Amino acid sequence: MIALQLPIRRDSFALDINLELPASGISGILGPSGCGKTSLLRALAGLDKHNGGKLAVGDHCWQSETVFVPAHRRGVGYVFQEATLFEHLNVEQNLHYGLKRVPEAERRVSLQQAIELLDIARLLKRKPAGLSGGERQRVAIARALAVSPELLLMDEPLAGLDFAMKQEVLSYIATLQQQLEIPVIYVSHVAEEVARLADHLVLMDNNGVVASGPATEMFTRLDLPLAQHSDAAAIIEARAVRYDEEYDLTSLEFNGGQITVAGRAASMEEIVRLQIAARDVSLTLEQQHNTSILNILPAVVEDIYENSRASVTVKLSANGVPLLCRMTRKSAQELGLKAGLSVFAQVKSVALLV
Amino acid sequence: MLTDSDITALLLTIKLAVLTTAILLLLGTPLAWWLARTRWRYKFLLEAIVALPLVLPPTVLGFYLLIALGPNGPLGGAMLQLGAEPLAFTFTGLVIGSVIYSLPFVVQPLQDAFVAVGRRPLEVAATLRASPLDRFFTVAIPLAAPGFFTAAILGFAHTLGEFGVVLMIGGNIPGETRVLSIAIYDHVEGLEYARAHWLSGGLLLLSFVLLIAVYAFNRRFRFARLQGSAL
C-alpha cells in the first residue's frame, strides 16, 4: 500500500492530496494539465519537498514530520515527460549510470532483461542525439528499470510521441508490468492511455483528487465525468477462446458473456482489454434475431444518468460486469428503462486496447 | 628577437596566467554553480560584485589591492604581525590581483553553462541513485564542459594582457612581477620599438588564436554577460 498525504502550497496554488494506492499493478492518475499530477509524482520521487507531507510506501516511510528520504535513496524509477538522456554518454552508459549505483544484492532486474524488454539492443553504442523520440523514451524507461525500482513513476511518457510510437511504447509498458511485477504509477491527461494500462485509477481535477478505485469501475461510475462524457466507454477484460478462420473473427469470453471481434485479435487464452464505447451500445427489451449485430449481451439496468435534456447514459450490469450505453432521453422513456429492468445490449463495435 | 629579459617576462606571464586560471577554476566552479542554482533574492548583488572587474579601471582595482596588501593595509598588516612579508610587489600579490581581475571571465561562462544544463538532468541522476556530489561531478560538470573550456581560455587570455593591476601592486621587478605588458611598456618608454613589436605582435596573435578557439568550440558564446540571466 502506498499512502500519501500532501499539502502542496505554491504562490497561486493550494492543493491537499490524500491518497492510498495499491502497491501492485499500474495505477493511472488522470486529470487535466496543471491539476497537480506531476507535483504528486515529484513529491513521491522526493524531487520536491512539501512541508507537512506524509508518505509511506509499504514498510518504508519516505516522509513524515521528522523524516525526509532524499530522491537518490528512495528506490524509485522515474520516467520524465521528455526523455532526458545524458547527452555526454552513449545509450549503454546511460543504462549503466543508475545500474552501477545499485548494490548487487538489490538488483532484481538485470540489464539484459531491461534491454530485451524495451528492445534497444541495437541502440547500445549510439549517442542520444541520434535517436528518435520513441527510441529515447524506450532507453529512458530501460534506464529507470535497470535500477530495480520498488516503484516506477511515469510522467506522461508518451507526450510528444506520434501515434505509432505511442502505440509501440504503450505495449512495452504493458509488457514490462506483466513481466517484472514492479508497481507503476502512470500520470496522464489522456483517458485512452490510462484505459489501456491502469488497474487502479485516480481521477483528479483542479481541486485535487475526485475519486480513486479499480479502473474498470471508475470508467463506468455515473457520478464521475468519465462516464458522463460523450466519449464514455466501458473497459472489460476478456479471454480469447476461439479464432474463426473462415470469417477472420476472434471470440473472447468474459463474465458477462462472449464478444466477437474482427481479425486475429489475440493468441488463445490471452487476456486482453476491450473498450466498448457507450455510443456504440443500443438496448432492446427482447433479444433480436434477425440483426447484423453479432454481439448481443443480456444485461440489467443499474442506473440512469441524464447528461442533458436530450441524452442519457445508462449503466448496465452484464452478469456483474459494468457496461455503458448512451441514448436519447426519449428512447429511454419509451423503453421504460429503470433500474432492475432486464435488457439486451447490442454492441455495434468493440475496440481492442492492447 | 627576444632578449633574455623578454623571455623571463614571457615565462613569468605564462606562469601567472596558468596559476590564475587554475585558481579561478577551483574557486569559480562552486561560485558559478551556486549562482546558477540559488533562488536567493539578492543574488544579483553577488553577480554585480563578480562583474565589477569588467567595468572598473584596473588601476582602481590595483590601487585598493595595494592598500589592502601593503604593510599598512588590513591584510598586509595582519601578515606582518604574523611574521610574513606583505604581499605588495610580490608574485603572490600579483596572483591575488589577477584572480580578482579575471574573476568574471571565468565565473560568467561557467554560470551560463550550468544554467544551460538545467535542473532536469540532475533530477534524473537523483532518481538513478546519484547523491548530490556524485551528480555534480558525473552530470553537471561533463554537461557543462564547453563552459569550462571557454572559462579557462578567457581567464588565461585575460590574465596575459593584464597591465594596470600589475603596475599598481606588482611594480616592475624582473623575474618576480615584470610581466609581458609591463615589458612592452618599458620598451616603448625606452623607444625600443622593434622589441615592443615582437612582444606586442606575439601577444596579439596568441590572444586572437585563443579567442578563435573559444568561438569555434562554443558557437553560442556571448561575451561579457553583465545582467544575471533568469533561472
Query: pLDDT (tens digit, 9 = 90+) per residue, B109-152?
Result: 999 999 999 999 999 999 999 999 999 999 999 999 989 998 99
| A128 has a chain B CB within 8 A of its CB | no
Looking at the complex, report in whole angstroms how far the Cα of residue B102 sits from the nearest Cα belonging to chain A: 29
pLDDT band at B228 (very low <50, low <70, confident <90, very high): very low
What are the φ and ψ backbone dihedral angles of A333, each rounded to 5 degrees?
Answer: -70, -45
Given A73, A77, A80, which is nearest B120 (Cβ)? Answer: A80
| pLDDT interval class at A90 (50, 70, 90) | very high
Domains delineated in chain B: 4-39+86-226 (1.10.3720.10)
Q: What is the pLDDT of residue B231?
A: 29
How many A-B residue pairs are in contact by the CB < 8 A criterion?
Answer: 62
CA dist B143 to B36, B85, B114, B118, B126, Å? Answer: 14, 43, 8, 10, 16
**Are the Cβ atoms of B127 and A72 closer than 8 angstroms?**
yes
| CB proximity B137 to A under 8 Å | no
> For residue A55, how many other CB atoms are within 10 A of its CB?
22
Q: What are the chain B neighbours of A101 within 8 Å (beta carbons)?
A: 128-130, 134
How much of chain A, in percent, has pLDDT values that exceed 70?
Answer: 100
Decide if B126 and A87 are in contact by the 8 Å CB cutoff.
Answer: no
Q: Rounded to 5 degrees, what angle do the CA atoms B202, B204, B206 make?
A: 70
A8-22, A46-60, B212-226: range with highest mean pLDDT: A46-60
pLDDT for residue A95 is more than 90: yes
User: Are β-strands A200-205 and A26-30 bridged in parallel, bridged antiparallel, or unpaired?
Assistant: parallel
Please tell me the predicted confidence (pLDDT) of residue B221. 56
Among the ranges given (A206-215, B79-88, B165-174), the one the predictor scored with the smallest mean pLDDT: B79-88
Are the Cβ atoms of B128 and A46 closer than 8 angstroms?
no
A182, A23 in Cβ contact below 8 A? no
What's the confidence (pLDDT) of residue A182?
86
Q: Does the pLDDT at position B222 exceed 70? A: no
Report CA-CA distances (Å) from B196 to B6, B89, B184: 10, 24, 5
**Model pLDDT for residues A164-184, shown as the tens digit of each residue:** 778 777 888 877 777 788 889
Contact across the interface for A97 and B138, Cβ inside 8 Å: yes
Q: What is the mean pLDDT of residues B54-71?
A: 87
The β-bridge relationship of strands A60-63 and A249-254 is unpaired
Query: ∠ at Cα B112 (B106, B114), nearest 5°?
Result: 100
Residue type, position B118, single letter:
G
A182 and B CB contact within 8 Å? no
Burial of B163 (0-12, 13-18, 19+ CB in 10 A): middle
User: Looking at residue A352, what is its pLDDT?
Assistant: 80
How many Å apart are CA A277 and CA A231, to the nearest integer?
7
- Residues B65-84 pLDDT 10s: 888 887 777 877 777 777 77
Share of chain A above pLDDT 90, in %: 47
Residue B128 has a pLDDT of: 95
- Do B31 and B107 contact (CB within 8 A), yes or no? yes
pTM for this prediction: 0.82
- DSSP state at residue B84: P
What's residue B224's pLDDT? 44
pLDDT score, position A304 = 93
Q: What integer pLDDT is reported at residue A251 of this predicted model? A: 92
Rounded mean pLDDT, B8-14? 86
A101:B127 CB<8 A: no
Lowest mean pLDDT among A95-99, A123-127, A134-138, B17-21: A134-138
The closest CB to that of A147, out of B128, B142, B145, belongs to B128
Chain B touched by A28 (CB under 8 Å): no
Helix (H, G, I), strand (E, B) or coil at B210: helix
Mean pLDDT, residues A108-121 taken together: 87
Q: What pLDDT sits at residue B210?
A: 86
Q: Residue B110 has which C-alpha cell?
A: 561557467
Q: In this prediction, what percent of chain B has a pLDDT beyond 70?
A: 94
- Note whether A143 contacts B: Cβ–Cβ < 8 A: yes
Give the three-state DSSP class for B115.
helix
Residue B229 has pLDDT above 60, yes or no: no
Q: Is B39 in CB contact (< 8 Å) with chain A?
A: no
Residues whose CB falls within 8 Å of the CB of residue A174, separated by 6 or more in sequence, listed in order: A196, A197, A354
Q: Which residues of B175-199 are buried (b: 16+ CB within 10 A; e: fewer)?
A: ebbbbbbbbbbbbeeeeeeebbebb
Average pLDDT, chain B: 86
Residues of A in contact with B149 (CB under 8 A): none
Residue B203 three-state SS: helix
| CA atoms of A294 and A287, how far apart (whole Å) | 12
Mapped onto helix, strand or coil, the DSSP state of residue A307 is coil
Q: Which DSSP string corresponds to A108-169?
A: -S-HHHHHHHHT-GGGTTS-GGGS-HHHHHHHHHHHHHTT--SEEEEESTTTT--HHHHHHH
What distance in Å separates residue A190's CA from the closest CA in chain B? 24
Q: Which residues make Cβ contacts (< 8 Å) with residue A343, sequence separation at least 6?
A: A283, A284, A285, A298, A299, A300, A301, A316, A335, A337
| DSSP one-letter code for A206 | T
pLDDT tens for residues A268-277? 888 888 999 9
Provide the pLDDT for residue B230.
Answer: 31
3-state DSSP call for residue B117? helix
Residues in chain B within 8 Å Cβ distance of A77: 127
Mean pLDDT of A246-256: 91
Distance CA A200, CA A185 (A): 9
| Predicted pLDDT of residue A272 | 87
Q: Does A197 or B88 have the greater pLDDT score?
A: A197
User: How many other C-beta atoms are found inside a 10 Å radius of the C-beta of residue B106?
Assistant: 33
3-class SS at A202?
strand
Q: Per residue in B190-204, pLDDT tens?
A: 888 988 898 899 889
Q: Is the pLDDT of residue B87 over 80?
A: no
pLDDT at A58: 85
Residue A172 touches partner B, C-beta closer than 8 Å = no
Residue B93, CA atoms < 13 Å, CB-side half-sphere: 33
Residue B227 has pLDDT above 50, yes or no: no
- For B128, residues 6+ apart whose C-beta sits below 8 A from its C-beta are A72, A97, A98, A101, A143, A144, A147
Chain A residue nearest residue B121, CA to CA: A84
Give the 3-state secondary structure of residue A274. Answer: strand
- Section A233-260 average pLDDT: 91
Laid out side by side, the sheet with A311-318 consists of A281-284, A342-347, A295-306, A311-318, A321-328
Tell me the pLDDT band of B219, cut-offs 50, 70 and 90: low
Question: Residue B143 and residue A88: Cβ atoms within 8 Å?
Answer: yes
CA torsion sign for B140, B143, B149, B150 is negative
Q: E-strand spans in chain A?
A: 2-10, 13-21, 26-30, 54-57, 60-63, 76-79, 151-155, 184-188, 200-205, 208-214, 233-244, 249-254, 257-262, 271-277, 281-284, 295-306, 311-318, 321-328, 342-347, 351-352
B85 — contact with chain A (CB < 8 Å)?
Answer: no
Q: How far apart are CA A216 and CA A232, in angstroms?
A: 12
A297-323 confidence digits (pLDDT tens): 999 999 999 988 999 999 999 999 999
